[in-house]
Structure 1
Amino acid sequence: MAELPPVDAENFAMRVLSQQAKSNEEAANATSSFDCEACKKSYLSKNAYESHLESKKHREAESRKQTAEANRVENKTLNAKTDEKVVSDFPISDDEAEGHQTPSAVAASTGDVTMDTDQDNEEEESGVELTLKEQQARIREINRALDLAETQEEMDALIDKKIKMSPRLPLEQCLFCLHTSDTFEANMEHMTKAHSLFIPELEYLKDLRGLIKYLGEKISVANVCLYCNGRGRGLRTMEAVQHHMRDRGHCMIAYDDEIDMMELGDYYDFSSTYPDAEGPDGSNEGAMEVDGSEASTGQQQLITGRDARLSHTGEVVVSDDQSELTLPNGRRVGHRDYRRYYRQRLTDTDTRDAALINHLLVEYADGERPMSAAEKRKAEQALMRNQPKGQWALRQMRYGHETRRANDFRTRTGIKANKLQRHFRAQVLF
């Protein structure tokens, strides 16, 4: 401390105050935390927070956050454009048409919902176009009213109102996304390629447009997944159903159970698969259906044994288990309970020609391709095995392969052994 100038009292007091301010700032920084919104992390020191901002993980998280925000804005813009589209006419009351209620006002008025038949009739008389947003708000109102309905009459009235209010998908719009094509054929091509839509029993389908229209109403009106078909959890909106089918891979038509087949039976015609019951004169007479429900109730006298007779065709015999009806011309008619088995298209036993045709079809479908080395080798061995002394030739071939492998092994071992010597040795003859 020698040879240092003295410090006056004023300068000393200023240094003490600056040191106290610095200590207070450090204490405040120690008690405060620094949060990173992108990474969802907190830091107690500023230096650690700044180091985190310069890290690679933070930059990646920030990039993902910006991308998600951009996608959110894009989806919001797309929904706004969709809301501007005017949907088909929907009846509303005259008071609502004069007041032009907003969706929020409609949603706020969902306290006690009572259904009045006269009011519904008045709503049917007025035709005012609603935007998609207003329509969705009214559908949400009906869904909440369905949860609060106590009687079957109220539920039926609400369901009828929802059916009238729900938008219908046009034939040019995809069933699984918002894509709209120019024609119905282009829409079918889009659903087949983009969503792998498969129409079951296509060769027996008689009304493709009617089937697609019915499936669209199941999605837009009933809010039912085409594959779950009411067996999964309940969905409230068409958008939720479409998201569910895309995310779960349910872009397919349920056609496994008998109930699913009967639901779509109006759009198919399987008459070509039914056996033609021709009478003696060549006319289709004597075909008789045996209804199990009628036979069980006793409303119609059951035809049994060889006592069954038809006045215009002769004798008709019913099997003992009531499952088969034999006509006079020898044809047999099966019971409708077994129709799912009769509709099976079982392939005949392959003959030489059938096997050859099938093989050619497979080759044409796959296209011509050269045989691989393994396939050529197997074909050559098969030919040699069938020739005289073929087994001996195959053994000689295998012996030659083993000899070559042994020679190659000795050569590789000798080359590696040459690398083990630690001194130079002149390669001269001894």
Structure 2
Amino acid sequence: MATFTCISCHVAFKDPNVQREHYKTDWHRYNLKRKVVDLLPVTAEVFQQRVLEQRAHANEQEAAKSITPYCNYCKKKFGSEKSYQNHLPSKKHQENVLNGLRHVSVKPDENQMTVEDESSMDEEIEDDSDEWEDDSEAIPVTSCLFCNHRSDTMESNLKHMSSQHSFFIPDFEFVIDMHGIMTYLGERVGQGHICMWCGHLGRQFPSTEAVQKHMLDKGHCKMFHEGEVLLEYSDFYDYSSSYPEEGDADEEVEANVICDTGFELVLPSGSTIGHRSLNRYYRQKLNPNPRPIPTRSAIQHGNYFKALGWTTSTKEIVQKKVRDITFMRKMFLKNQLGVSVKANKLQKHFRRQVDM
């Protein structure tokens, strides 16, 4: 008598009709998928057990969805368990916990809820997304800007971001405040929900998770440091070390003249001769244009990025950035002066303010 077999499931049949019906079952399809990935087939009993476990897990998820998370401290009802978990570490919730208002419960007592309470709670669900945006906080310097990883120090956090997300600080050799720039980036991503690479185009995301997912998916785990954005980060950089020592060739040089004011005399060589009564002041060696000193953390991180192989911008690009920053600062001050003059423009004629 002929025997009909199924190679994928390792079973035999005496009737061809039974074999054809077997090919239509979920058990056979399951073993076919396992065969594609080079896995051994499972028996019918094991398959049925896995189906029951999957159904039980699905029922648990449905039951969890039916339970509406509720926070008695903040008197808020959330639409999902994930939004409730995101609410717990918020600053507003922590303040309410410290105040000891009430005990946090996952769901309020249904017997004590009236019809008016249910309607008000439904309204809170609709408005919860907007309220959660108000609770958005800046990402601390010890937390990753792209994932939920937390480090003990800012140094270890930067090492994590550079090794896992290929993130680095542009022109790190000229950074003078590493803690400040990391704090600003945390506020930009955590509070502003703005991408660090394409945020200058005007796009803003609804939440921190959304902007983090965007940066990971699009490969935007980097800083945009060109054009008008240079002025945004200018407080954290100092490019004075890249200035030419001879000065600008096009810079106008004023002729040295002898200036006699009674207390000091400026010679053509540039030296200043002062009166003996002002000797105590001339002994002071004050730098009229002090250069910002990079912090120790900025130097350490710069050395770490160098060890990873990251290189800073070329000399030509750095000089171009310096010219751009100088030009934008001049335009900003000029525009600010124009606005101030218009705002404080004096009236040349009398106008009665109150008709009485």
Q: TM-score, normalised by structure 2?
A: 0.43
For the pair shown, which has the larger CA radius of gyration, 1 or 2? 1
Q: Greater RCO between the two (CA within 8 Å, min separation 6)?
A: 2
